Structure formats: structure tokens, C-alpha cells
């Protein structure tokens, strides 16, 4: 993992998501989000995975930042070309 802090955590009920990051970690994630947005704007359907080391990646930190929270080991970000999101493409 690079030398930055970036974690995603939920509260105990899983109803809230908390993002913890130092400046380098937040800049890394912001850059990746802008790249996804650019691809979606061009009509693509990008997605990216972010994992902790324990889950085979190096994009997310493994150190939980809240005593009551639950660390998320895998975050998947989707980019959609329109405000309709993935609904037109789901098989539900």
C-alpha cells in the first residue's frame, strides 16, 4: 500500500458510511473518482475496486479509525453515463 490513509467504515447498523483519509489518501481517491467520471461522461461504464491488503489489494488502509465502526474491506465504484444509473442495465 502506498503511504496514505484511506478507509471506509460503516456504523454498527450499516446505515451510515464514513470515509477517513489523510490529504494524500483523499487526493488519491478524488483523482480516481475524476477518472471514472471522465470515462462515464464519454459514454463508458467504468468501475473500479478498492481493497484492503487482507482482501488482496493495496488501495485501502486496514486500520479501523472508529472504535464502534466496521471496516469495509472492499469498495466498488461504478460510473454511469446518465442520471438513471444502473437501472436501465439491471436484470431485475
CA 17, CA 69: separation in Å to the nearest integer?
9
Buried b (16+ CB within 10 A) or exposed e, 19-50: ebbeeebeebbeeeeeebeebbeeeeebeeeb
The predicted pLDDT at position 87 comes to 81
61 burial via Cβ count (<10 Å: 0-12, 13-18, 19+): buried
pLDDT by residue for the chain (92 residues), tens digit each?
679 999 999 999 999 999 999 999 999 999 999 999 999 999 999 999 999 999 999 999 999 999 999 999 999 999 999 999 988 776 54
List the domain boundaries for the chain: 6-78
Give the residue from 54, 58, 69, 56 showing the smallest Cα distance to 20: 69
Radius of gyration of the chain (CA): 15
Model pTM? 0.88
Which stretches within 1-92 are classed as H helix?
23-41
Amino acid at each position: 500500500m502506498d503511504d496514505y490513509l484511506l478507509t471506509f467504515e460503516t456504523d454498527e447498523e450499516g446505515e451510515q458510511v464514513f470515509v477517513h483519509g489523510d490529504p494524500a489518501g483523499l487526493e488519491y481517491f478524488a483523482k480516481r473518482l475524476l477518472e471514472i467520471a471522465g470515462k462515464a461522461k464519454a459514454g463508458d461504464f467504468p468501475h473500479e475496486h478498492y481493497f484492503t491488503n487482507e482482501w488482496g489489494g493495496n488501495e485501502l488502509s486496514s486500520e479501523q479509525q472508529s472504535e464502534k465502526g466496521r471496516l469495509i474491506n472492499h469498495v466498488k465504484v461504478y460510473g454511469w453515463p446518465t442520471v438513471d444509473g444502473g437501472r436501465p442495465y439491471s436484470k431485475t
